[in-house]
Amino acid sequence: MSTWEGAWNDPGPPDHSPREIITALHLTRVYRHPRAITAVNDVTFSIFEGEIFGLLGPNGAGKTTLFRMLTTLLRPSAGGAFIDGHSITEEPDIIRSIIGVCSQNTTLDPDLTAWENLDFYGELLNLDPEVRDARIRDLLKVSGLSDRGGLPIRTFSRGMMRRLEIVRAFIHNPRILFLDEPTMGLDPASRQAIWGQIRKLNGHGVTVVLTTHYMDEAARLCHRVAFMDTGEIVAIGAPQSLVDQIFSGEIIEVPLPPASERLCGEVLGIPGVISVHADGGLLQIVTRDPDQVLPELRRLIPFEGAGLIDPVARPPTLEDVFIRLTGEARKGRGRME
Amino acid sequence: MRSARAVFRRDFTKFVRSPLMITMIFIFPLIIMIIFGNTMGSTLTHLPVGLAQEDPSAARSTLYTRVLSAMQEKNLYSIIIYTNEKAAKAALADGRIYAAVIFQGSEKKDETVRLYLDTSQYAIPGVLESGIQGEIRGVDPQAAVFISRIYGNIKYFQFFGVAVIVLAIFMSTLLGGGTAIIHDRETGILEGYFVTPVKRSRIIMGLIASGTLKAFLSGCFILAMGVLLAGVVIRSLETLSSALLVILLISVGLTSFVVSFAIRFSNQTLYHSAISFFNLLLFLTSGALYPTEGMPWWLVWISWINPETYSLHALRCILLKGQGLGYVTFDLLVLSLLTLAAIAAGILAYPTDLEFTLEQ
């Protein structure tokens, strides 16, 4: 499987220097138990200093394995990676001192208070007591938990725990922050709060690498994203440029009637239609000229008569890219006219 | 009823899929049965007994010669001849022999024999007292036997009370040190360690320090209870300070042992089953309940590598015999070596990344 064409030429985030801070070279990881699975397969890519970089892909695509290799939690089976020039296999200790990691699962001690948790990590990371106290006060403020510092973590909501976990990863002022699904399972307000926190940190020059299943999150937050599927990076680039590359127009979605092979061909015949894609009972039509296509479509399919909602055109989103890229791979690369 | 069946099936399927759990349920009790049967109430044999004569220059008396040959015929005793009374008593004080039989060494009627017994052991002094008296009376029914119990009458409660100090230390490390490690793993704190550059030796040192303190406090509490309830007597400040030092060393040793052991366990149930088994195994083979002399060779072998054997011996020497640290140097040395080995094993076994979770 090849990387999405042209994606490599992405210039990187416009407002930041293009210095590579993370470089993965042919990074591969094979799990042996219970059966051999190549979770990450020959992945080569770079992340630039100061950008927010998103790793996207379906469950089991290899995001977390790649994330864990980059954060020195797992060792590669082949290939390697460099974080700020340090090898993940040779110098994990140096890397661990310059990165902050927020794992998918909580690593906070539920029996300790928020303050004690931060203090514990601060001391593990060798921060002096005076520095630590000031830092903890700052971090609790950033996470909006100043009034809850003395409460045990077990009394916190998931959103509060997540916010604390992110600032915890940041206690030693790391240059790179790794966040594995930072907003998973959180309500919209908590997600907004975490995005604000990530942007604030990024504003101070911190490179952020995150994985997420929320495409709106990736589109809003990330300077660049990489799509992973079955252990490989299938596309990489700025969210909007990926959308533009894959969908060179607007999308019209039509419920797909049964036995519609003929219909697909007819729709494709409509002038102005760039591509037609049938998936999951839905016909996805890409066009640059919806005003021309829609009347023709209505003529072809009598929507009102069939009790269907009249179709409208909408701009494509990163979610469409996700479905198109990873769905295609799953079906063994399908129809892309 | 179908729902009950569903619950049964779910639980039983999980049991069948866990070979370790099956081992624990079937094999561990079997091993415990064999060990219990072999440690408790087994026939004591080859107990070291020293014989000597008051007057080393005189020829052996008829009584001495005949008692010696009568004792040599039995496998209850393992006889050591001392050239003089002083050497025999020193050996008794050192714990190399459990009884010293001193003959007068002159040919006269109604010879007086003095029997010195090490009463810090359970069962052994009783067996030796009646056994040796029997041998003497068998030769000369008129002979007078003066019995001297060198540590007084030590009750089983005292003997056992000292053992409970070791048990308390083990229990508190089992729950404190070991459980804490698995809790760290279950809650994800272990993963939190891996993303910091902290060295695993530091993590182990921290865990052992905290486990040791908890174990030490627990050991001290049981020592106090031993004094109040079991009649353990603390004769001097030196005895107290020696006892506290030994309790501290035992705490470090057993905590290191348990922490190293706990590192590779992924869940509490399995760990608790395994550690309870080891708790019983180590406790029984340490001579806590019954002397190791009666055990078969393979259990004696376990008692040699068992840190609790040395812990218990040192504590009993100090608390029951009132001996100083000089008498337990060997125990403390072995205990220190086992502790260092356990700490090293713990550091080596402690993971540095998440690879180990994939092996299980």
Choose the weakest-confidence range: A76-90, A302-316, B2-16, B343-357.
A302-316
pLDDT at A7: 36
Least confident of A169-178, A293-302, B35-44, B121-130: B35-44
Residues A146-165: what's their mean pLDDT? 91
| pLDDT reading at A2 higher than 50 | no
What is the C-alpha separation between B53 and B67, in angstroms, rounded? 13
φ and ψ at residue A288, rounded to 5 degrees: -95, -10
Band (A328; pLDDT cuts 50, 70, 90): low
Query: Searching chain A, which residue's CA lies closest to the CA of residue B190?
Result: A107
The pLDDT tens digits for B209-251 are 999 999 999 999 999 998 888 888 888 899 999 999 999 999 9
Give mean pLDDT, residues A244-251.
88
| Nearest-by-CA chain B residue for A105 | B188
Closest Cα in chain B to A124: B198
Give B 336-355 residues with CB within 8 A of chain A. 352-355
Q: Do A107 and B187 touch (CB under 8 A)?
A: yes
What is d(CA B315, CA B288) in angstroms, rounded to the nearest whole number? 11
pLDDT at A11 over 50: no
Please check whether residue B191 touches A, CB under 8 A. Answer: yes
Statement: residue A13 has pLDDT above 60: no
Range A179-183 average pLDDT: 91
Q: What is the pLDDT of residue A221?
A: 94
Residue B153 binned pLDDT confidence (cut-offs 50, 70, 90): confident
Q: Under CATH, which number does the domain B47-149 receive?
A: 3.40.190
- The alpha carbon of residue B182 is apart from the nearest alpha carbon of chain A, in Å, by 13
Q: Indicate the DSSP class of residue B196.
A: S
Closest residue by Cα to residue A223 from A206, A203, A211, A240:
A240
The tens digit of pLDDT for each residue in A76-119 reads 999 999 999 999 999 999 999 999 999 888 889 888 999 999 99
Query: How do B47-53 and B99-103 pair as beta strands?
Result: parallel
> How high is the pLDDT of residue A23?
96
Q: Which residue of B has its CA nearest to A108?
A: B189
Q: How many CB atoms lie within 10 A of CB B134?
A: 12
Question: Is B197 close to A105, i.e. CB distance below 8 A?
Answer: no
Interchain pair A68, B354: CB under 8 A: yes
Q: For chain B, what are the domain ranges?
A: 47-149, 156-349
The per-residue pLDDT for A5 is: 34
Q: State residue B241's pLDDT score.
A: 93
* Ramachandran area for residue A282 (φ above 0: left; ψ -120 to 50: alpha; else beta): beta
Distance from CA of B241 to the nearest CA of A (A): 34
For testing the chain B interface, which of A29, A124, A127 should be mutated: the one with the most B CBs within 10 Å? Answer: A124
CA separation for the pair B146, A25 (Å, rounded)? 88
Asked whether the predicted pLDDT for residue B264 surpasses 90, the reply is no
B279-291 average pLDDT score:
86
Q: Is the pLDDT of residue A170 over 90?
A: no
| Average pLDDT over every residue of A220-236 | 94
What's the confidence (pLDDT) of residue B139? 87
Pairing of strands A224-229, A207-211: unpaired
Q: Closest Cα of chain B to A231: distance in Å?
A: 18
For residue A335, pLDDT over 80 is answered with no
Confidence of residue A1 (pLDDT cuts 50, 70, 90): very low
> Is B193 an interface residue toward A (CB < 8 Å)?
yes
Select from A96, A105, A110 the Cβ nearest to the Cβ of B196.
A96
Q: How far apart are the first and last CA of chain B?
A: 36
What pLDDT shows up at residue A44?
A: 96
